[in-house]
Chains A and B, each alone.
Chain A
Amino acid sequence: MPVQPPKDTISAVNLPDDPGKEAPAVYAVKDLRDYIKPPLDDSIASPVNAKESLSTSPCSCNSVCACVPVGACGCDDFCACDSVAPRQSIAPGLSVNDLREACYCEGDEGCSCQGDTCPCQCTCQNVYYYPKCLQPVEGTEEAAE
Chain B
Amino acid sequence: MAPAQYTTSIPVDVSAVDRENLAKNIFLIPDGNQYILYAPLNHFVASVNGTTARLIQQFLIDRDPESVPPPIRSQLADLTWAQVPEKLPAVRDPGRPFEPTQVTIFPTNQCMLRCEYCYASAGGAAPRRVDLRAIGPAIELVIAATKRRGQTATVAFHGGCDPLFSPEIVKSSVGYACAAGERESVKVRLVISTSGAVSEKTAEWLARTFHSVCLSCDGPPDIQDRQRPLADGSPSSPLVSRTAGVLRDHNVPCGIRATVTARTVHRMTEMVDYFIEVFGMRQMHFEPVHPCGRCATESIAAPSSLEFVEHFSAAWEHARSRNAFLRYSGCRLGWLTERFCAVDGDNFCLTPEGHMSSCYEVPDTSHPLADTLIFGRFDPTPQSFVVDQDKLAVLRRLNVTYKEFCKSCFAKWNCGGDCPVKGITGHTNLLSDYSYKPGARCDINRELTLRSLRRALEFQGDDKHACSTPQRHN
* Majority SS at the chain B contact face: mixed
Alpha-carbon separation in the docked complex, A118 to B172 (Å)? 8
By the criterion CB–CB under 8 Å, are B254 and A47 in contact? yes
Task: Count A interface residues, CB 8 Å.
Answer: 81
**Range for the number of chain B residues in contact with chain A:** 35 or more
By the criterion CB–CB under 8 Å, are A47 and B248 in contact? yes
Which of B19-27, B90-98, B222-230, B362-370 contacts the other chain? B19-27
Query: What residue of chain A has the Cβ atom nearest to residue B473's Cβ?
Result: A44
Residue B144 CB within 8 A of the other chain: no
Cβ contact of B456, chosen from A11, A22, A32, A130, cutoff 8 A? A32
Query: Chain B 13-55 against A: per-residue CB contact (8 Å), 1 yes, 0 no?
Result: 0000000000110111110001101001001111111111111
Output the least CB separation between A143 and chain B (Å): 3
* Majority SS at the chain A contact face: loop
By the criterion CB–CB under 8 Å, are B212 and A40 in contact? yes
Cβ contact of B209, chosen from A47, A49, A115, A132, cutoff 8 A? A132
By the criterion CB–CB under 8 Å, are B179 and A82 in contact? yes
> Inter-chain contact count A-B, CB under 8 Å?
319
Cβ contact of A45, chosen from B56, B283, B360, B471, cutoff 8 A? B283
By the criterion CB–CB under 8 Å, are A116 and B69 in contact? no
By the criterion CB–CB under 8 Å, are A80 and B60 in contact? no
Query: Chain A 37-55 against B: per-residue CB contact (8 Å), 1 yes, 0 no?
Result: 1101111111111110010
Cβ contact of A47, chosen from B51, B131, B251, cutoff 8 A? B251
Alpha-carbon separation in the docked complex, A79 to B174 (Å)? 9
| Residues in chain A within 8 A of chain B (CB atoms) | 3, 5-13, 15-16, 19-20, 22-38, 40-51, 54, 57, 64, 77-82, 105, 112-120, 126-135, 137-145
| Residues in chain B within 8 A of chain A (CB atoms) | 8, 11, 23-24, 26-30, 34-35, 37, 40, 43-57, 60-61, 68-69, 72, 75-77, 104, 129, 131-133, 152, 156, 158, 168-169, 171-172, 174-176, 178-179, 181-182, 187-193, 201, 204-205, 208-214, 244, 247-255, 257, 276, 279-283, 285, 287, 325, 329, 332-335, 341, 360, 404-410, 437-438, 442, 446, 456-458, 460, 464, 466-467, 469-474
